[in-house]
Structure 1
C-alpha cells in the first residue's frame, strides 16, 4: 500500500502536534515496512535527514496547513497514485483521507483562543465530514467530537505515547537549576490561558512550600499558544525571590532530568484533548497532581490527586501531602515508547482500510 502523509509540521510546528505527526509516521514505517511512505513536506524545509528509510519526499508550497491540505494533498495523491492519505486536523473533499483531529476545544470553549485562531480552526470539523475515517487521541476527545458533530461518528481514539527521543534521552541537569536546590515543583506545557498557570502558581504560593531551595520550575513557551496566560500580580516578585523559575523550552535530556527529580508534576489545565505532560510524568514514575477533568481521569487514573482547577486552596492542600523530594529511578523505555507508536499507527491503518461503519 502506498500512503501519503501530511508532514506539514515535520520541521517546525507546535511541539505536541509535531511529535504526534512524526511518531505516527515513524511507527508506521517500523510496523509496516512493506508500505510505501510518501511525505508531503513544506518546500522551505528541503534539507531533510531525519526521515524514515526509503520514504519518498514530495514538497508543498502553500501555507497555512489548512490550505495546503485541502488543495495540495489531493494533487500529490493523484500524482503519486497513493492508496490512502493521512492528514492532521484538515482533510480535503477531493481524495480518500483519514484525518487525525487533535481536538475541538476551540468550538466548546472559544474564549481560550484568539479570534484569529478561531477563524483559522473553523473549517476543521466541516472538512472532516469528507474524511473516510476520523481519529483523535483520547476517548474523552472522541466523545466531544461526536457530541458536537454527530455526523463524524464513529470517531476512533488511538491513544498517544511519549516521544521515543525523550524516552531514550540521557538525563542532564539544566543549567538554570539554582545552587543548593533541595526539591522543586514542575509545570510543563504551553503558556496560555487554558493551561491555567495562574491557579498552579496561586496554589503553590498558598501551600507555603515555595522557596529558593524548593522553587516551582515552569517549562514551556508562549509560541503557538493562543490567548495569553493569566499570572498573579506578584509574579515578578516570586521570580526575583527565586521561588519561581521560567525555564522556557528545554532539551529532551533536561526534560527527562526534570521529570526524574521533581517532587511532582502540577498540571492544572482547564481542558485537554489528551495532555502529554501527565502521560510523560507517569512514564517516568513522577507523581502528578492534575486538574479534575474527564480526560485526566481517563489518562492518569493513578494520579496523586485530582483537584478543582479553579481552586488554589485545593491545590495547596494536595501539595502539602506530597513528599518534598523523591528518589530518581532508572527508566529505559525506548522500546516501550516505539512499540506504543507502532500500535497507534496500526490502529489508524486498520481502521482506514476497513469499510466505514
Structure 2
C-alpha cells in the first residue's frame, strides 16, 4: 500500500501534540507500508523520520482549496491527514481525516500561533457543529485518538463515515528512571496555559507544599506569565521554563515526584503516558479522557479542589506509595505503542479504500 501522509502540520522547531503524533505515526507506518510525506517547509524534515517527501503548499494557503488536483496526479493508494482540514475538492483517492477532540466548542479561544484571519475563522467555525460535519463527511474514514472523542462524535452526529481509533503513544525512546532512585521534590506540568488547562488550581494547590518546586515547562506569553505569577503562594517555588528540549523533558521526568495536570478538557493527555513510561506517577483531573488514558494507574482529583491536589502530592511522599504508583504507571504505559497505532492506521486505510471504491461505483461520473 502506498500511503501519502500529510506532514504539513509538523512544527519547525519543537513538536506540539499533533506534530509529534503525525511524525510518530509516519515512522511506525513506514515499517509496514510505502509512505511518502507531504511537507510545506523543508525545515520540517528535522522533526520527521527519514522517508521520501514532497514539497507542496502550506495547509493555510488559499491553494489548499485545490491541493487534491495535484495529489490526484501522484496516484496514492490512500491519503492520511492528522487533521480534518485538508483540501479535498475533486479528489480521486481514498482519504482518512483525523479529529482529535472537541475542546474548542466549549473553549473557543484559537491557538495563538495562527494568523489573525485564521483565528477569526476558527471562532466562527466552532460556533456550530454543522461546519465540522461538512469537513468530516468529505473523508472516506475519520480517525480519532480516543474512545472519549469517538463517543462525543457519535453524540453530536458529526459524521456519516466510519470512525476508527488510531491511538496516541509515548515516545519510543523514553528512558525509564534507574531502579531504586528516589524522587526529588519536583512537580512537572507539561501543557499550554489556555484557561481550560486550569493551571490556576495547580498554583493554588502549591500552598502547603513547602519544599516542593513546580516546573511549568511549556512556552508562555509574557502577559499570561504575569497573570499566573500573581497566584503563586508566598514562599513557594515555581519555575517558568518557557519551553524545554525533549532531552531536558525526559531528564526532568526521570527525577520528578509526579507529573500534574488539572485540565478541565483535553483531547488526549499524552504527557500522562509519557510520564508513566518514564516511571513518574501522575496526578490528574478526574475527567473521562484522563480516566481513559491513565486507567487505574493515575491518581485523580477534583480539578476545582486545590486541597485535593495538595493531599495527593503529600501522599506520594511516602516511599511505598510512590513506588507502587511508579510501577503501576510503567505497567499501564506498556499497553501503548506506536506499532499498535500503526496497525490501527493501516486498518483505517484499508477500510477507506473499500469505502471509496464503493462510492465510486455508485457515482461513476466522478472517476
For the superposition of Structure 1 and Structure 2, which TM-score range results when normalised by the shorter chain?
0.7 to 0.9
SS of 2:35's partner is strand
Tell me, yes or no, if structure 1 residue 251 matches structure 2 residue 245. yes
1:41 CA displacement? 0.6
Q: Which moved more, 1:106-115 or 1:193-202?
A: 106-115
Alignment of 1:263-342 (within 5 A): 263-323=257-317, 340-342=337-339
Q: Is the 8 A contact 1:194 1:270 kept in 2?
A: yes
Tell me, in whole angstroms, the C-alpha distance in 2 between the residues paired with 1:274 and 1:47: 24
Tell me, in whole angstroms, the C-alpha distance in 2 between the residues paired with 1:308 and 1:112: 26
Alignment of 1:102-121 (within 5 A): 102-110=100-108, 116=120, 117-119=122-124
1:229 CA displacement? 8.1
1:4 CA displacement? 1.1
Tell me, yes or no, if structure 1 residue 29 matches structure 2 residue 19. no
Q: Name which of 132, 136, 154 aligns with 1:128.
A: 136
For structure 2, which runs of at least 5 residues remain unmatched after alignment? 113-118, 359-367
Q: 1:204 to 1:236 in 2, by over 3 A?
A: closer
Q: 1:184 to 1:6 in 2, by over 3 A?
A: same
Tell me, in whole angstroms, the C-alpha distance in 1 between the residues paired with 2:63 and 2:193: 28
Alignment of 1:127-206 (within 5 A): 127-152=135-160, 154-165=162-173, 167=174, 182-205=184-207
Tell me, in whole angstroms, the C-alpha distance in 1 between the residues paired with 2:196 and 2:165: 22
Superposition CA RMSD, Å: 3.5
SS of 1:10's partner is coil
1:200 CA displacement? 0.8
Q: Is the 8 A contact 1:99 1:134 kept in 2?
A: yes
Tell me, yes or no, if structure 1 residue 347 matches structure 2 residue 365. no
Question: 1:97 is matched with which residue?
Answer: 95
For structure 1, which runs of at least 5 residues remain unmatched after alignment? 172-180
Aligned residues: 327
Q: Please list every run of at least 4 consecutive aligned residues from structure 1 whose deviation after the TM superposition is greater than 4 angstroms.
A: 49-53, 67-70, 111-115, 120-125, 168-171, 227-233, 324-327
Instruction: Normalising by structure 1, report the TM-score.
Output: 0.79
Q: Which moved more, 1:290-299 or 1:257-266?
A: 257-266
Instruction: Normalising by structure 2, report the TM-score.
Output: 0.77
1:101 CA displacement? 1.5
Q: 1:279 to 1:59 in 2, by over 3 A?
A: same
Q: Is the 8 A contact 2:140 2:161 kept in 1?
A: no
